[in-house]
Structure 1
Amino acid sequence: MDIKTLKCHGSGNDFILIDEITNDYNFSEEDRVEITKNLCDRKMSVGADGVLFVLNSSKGHGRMRIFNADGSEPEMCGNGLRCVGRYVMELVNKKEVLIETMKTVYTVKKVENIFKGVATIEIIIDSVSFEAADLPMISHEHEVSMKKIEKLSDTLLFSAISITNPHLVAIVDEISEGQLQEVGYKANNTPEILPKGVNVNFVKVIDSQNIYVKTYERGVGLTKACGTGMTASVISAVINGKCAMNEEINIFNDGGMIKCTVCNNDKGYFVKFVGNATYQFTGNFKYTKPLPKHPIHYDYDSYKAETECYEKMFLYTREIIKKVL
């Protein structure tokens, strides 16, 4: 069976997209896990943080299933959702679509480019919960806000936030990658507190309109960016008085930047989440069992101009960061 793929990314969080709307692949669950583990291996294959399977939906214009590099399936992925949203919009020739995920349906729409030549997508994220049980997290407190979790760290203060995906957020003076790696590993190997694991985010507040976020992603490890992680982080920054409600905030990460506006209404918090959805290149492979090493044949020039535009944006964000960090 010949499989067509599209390499894409949101804020450097990269994925391999497989279209099951126009292609009748009939994958089993075992197929999805095997394909994901193989294609995401950066040493033996094209490499990615995850695979986006795009399917038909009875609730919207398309359905996203995201598998992490280790074969696990998270509830949601903000960066991946932007890529899937763009792909489905182009498929159905609309500027706004509904995309079904594991637990809810999101409105995704095309907006003004965040940078010249960089395709930009907005998502409204309203599935925000502060209940520890929604992570799930075993705690004697209903909500965990700026609290120590002794088994993870004796100095950091964590806030627990679910954006469908589970997150712990710590606001820090300086981001230590080594410390984040250590805390992230502990958080995903302490089932008596976090039975299903968790994403861990370190946030450095630059000023009231700019923050820097780095994430240890469950099932992936340290990643250039995590969409729901950046969302949880900016919510935490706003709630703790570091950034303002109803104002656009720049969120920088190792892969670039996004823009978020945290809002509140009678239903609770919601976030306008704006960032790139960049295509990198296409590829194809013949699916056999077991999959061979280096299975994909690439066309690296298929989206060369688009990739170059994002690279210019990335370099622009690095220049900004040099001045403030």
Structure 2
Amino acid sequence: MRLSITKCHGSGNDFALIDARDLALDDADWAQVARALTDRAGPVGGDGILLLTGADAEAAFGMRIFNADGSEPETCLNGLRCIARAGLEATGQPSAHVRLKTSHADVARDADLAAGVYTVRETAGPASLDVRAWPLDGEGDEIREAVIARLSPDLRFTAVAMPNPHLIAFVDRVDEAELVRIGEICEGAPAWLPNRANVSFVELRDADTLYVRTFERGVGLTNACGSAMGAATFVAGLTGRLPFDRTVTVRNRGGLVRASASEAGMVTLSGNATVEWTGTVTIDLAQGTAHDLAVTQRHPEEIAAWAAI
């Protein structure tokens, strides 16, 4: 099967984007496509694949995402910006209501973060504190700045769904080895956390800056996770570290976004949707492999603009 793809990223969270509006593949096939295209040893590589899907009565277009392990999360806010760019360009609209797996979001072209950096504003939510819906068993209905002894005797986590599940711990300094250790516990889908969760360590660097490092469900340690940055911004307000409705800079290994969160749980991120190249590739569904990549157009000016910030 030959597919047209766009290699893109939001804050360094990189994807192969596919216009799937006229493609009829089932979920098992898309999971195989994801495994093939995200393989870092293959011709493309990435954290996941993004599917631009069609309109319905509520939304101008939709988004689906499949992680590197073939699983389908509820949302991906870095990926949403890339889908928003593709959808807005395809429909000719400056803004849109977008259908996600279990929710909706609003997107619009925004003022560029820097010269030449295509920037999208996205608003999603509301965030939920009800861990019974994850489920996360044995820790009560909500977890706010609380120790989860099965993960760590010292760290205090806040649990929030965006609607994908996040465990957020504010730390003085990110201990990457500890983050991986805890992330791998959650990734193992223990009986008390059967659907797994994203785990983030967050540094409050000053009154206007957060730094977020995430072990992402279905991906592992990642350069960026948009919903984690949104969840961290909301938790910063919830715990009194930052005021609600203040626009702050959220940094990560892959870059940065502008972010704000309301007390009602709505989160707005403004960040890049950078296109690196477009091309075609052959997928062997039976083997879950990709080969014969042909890049038809490169965008070095976009890569350079993002590198500059």
Q: Which residue of 2 aligns with 1:270?
A: 266
Using the alignment, how far apart are the partners of 1:312 and 1:34 within structure 2? 35
Match of 2:19 in 1: 19
| 1:283 partnered with 2:295 | no
Equivalent residues, number? 308
- Quote how far apart the aligned CAs of 1:88 are: 0.3
Partner of 1:145: 144
Structure 2 match to 1:30: 28
Residue aligning to 1:320: none
Task: Tell me which amino acid in the other structure corresponds to 1:101.
Answer: L
Secondary structure at the counterpart of residue 158 of structure 1: strand
Identity %: 33
| Pairwise CA distance, 1:30 | 2.0
CA distance in 1, matches of 2:302, 2:194: 41
Larger RCO, structure (CA 8 Å, separation 6 or more):
2
Q: Over residues 157-213 of structure 1, what are the superposed CA-to-partner deviations in whole Å (9 max), with x where a residue is unaligned?
A: 110001110000000011011110001001222523211100001001101210100
Instruction: Give every structure 1 segment of 4 or more consecutive aligned residues whose post-TM-superposition deviation is greater than 6 Å.
Output: none
* SS of equivalent to 2:262: strand
Give the corresponding residue for 2:159: 160
Cα displacement (A) at 1:300:
7.5
Code of the residue aligned with 1:281 in structure 2: it is W
1:213-228 alignment runs, 5 A limit? 213-228=212-227
Native 8 Å contact 2:230 2:268 kept in 1: no
Pick one of 46, 49, 71 that aligns with 1:48.
46
Match of 2:131 in 1: 132
Q: Secondary structure at 1:75's aligned position in 2?
A: coil
Once residues 111 and 291 of structure 1 are traced to their aligned partners in structure 2, the CA distance between those partners, rounded to angstroms, is 41
Q: Distance in 2 between matches of 1:302 and 1:192?
A: 46
State how far apart, in whole Å, the 2-side matches of 1:217 and 1:186 are: 12
CA deviations 1:195-238 (Å, max 9, x no partner) are: 11000010011012101000000000000000110111111112
1:318 match: none
Shift of the 4–134 alpha-carbon distance from structure 1 to 2, 3 Å rule, reads same
Contact 2:167–2:199 (CA under 8 A) maintained in structure 1: yes
Cα distance between partner residues in 2 of 1:230 and 1:107: 17
| Counterpart residue identity of residue 268, structure 2 | K
Q: Does 1:2 align with 2:7?
A: no
Taking only aligned residues, the RMSD between alpha carbons, in angstroms, comes to: 1.5
Where 2:46 maps in the other structure, the secondary structure is coil
The equivalent of 1:81 in structure 2 is: 80
Cα distance in structure 1, aligned partners of 2:194 and 2:203? 28
- How many Å apart are 1:127 and its aligned residue? 2.5
**Which whole-Å CA distance do the structure 2 matches of 1:107 and 1:74 have between them?**
18
For 1:13 and 1:179, locate their aligned partners in 2 and report how far apart those are by CA, in whole Å: 22
Distance in 2 between residues matched to 1:68 and 1:284, nearest whole Å: 20
Match of 1:194 in 2: 193
Q: Which residue of 1 aligns with 2:89?
A: 90
Q: Which residue of 2 aligns with 1:319?
A: none
Whether the aligned pair in 2 keeps the contact of 1:280 and 1:300 (CA below 8 Å) is no
- CA displacement at 1:293 relative to structure 2: 5.2
With 198-207 and 136-145 compared, the bigger mean Cα shift is at 136-145
Does the Cα contact within 8 Å between 1:38 and 1:45 map onto a contact in 2? no
Structure 2 portions without partners, runs of 5+:
none
Unmatched segments (≥5 aa) in structure 1: 314-325
Change over 3 Å in CA distance of 1:154–1:140 after alignment to 2: closer
Residue 201 (structure 2) pairs with residue 205 (structure 1): no
What one-letter code is carried by the residue in structure 2 that aligns with 1:11?
S
**Equivalents in 2 of 1:33, 1:294: separation in Å?**
13
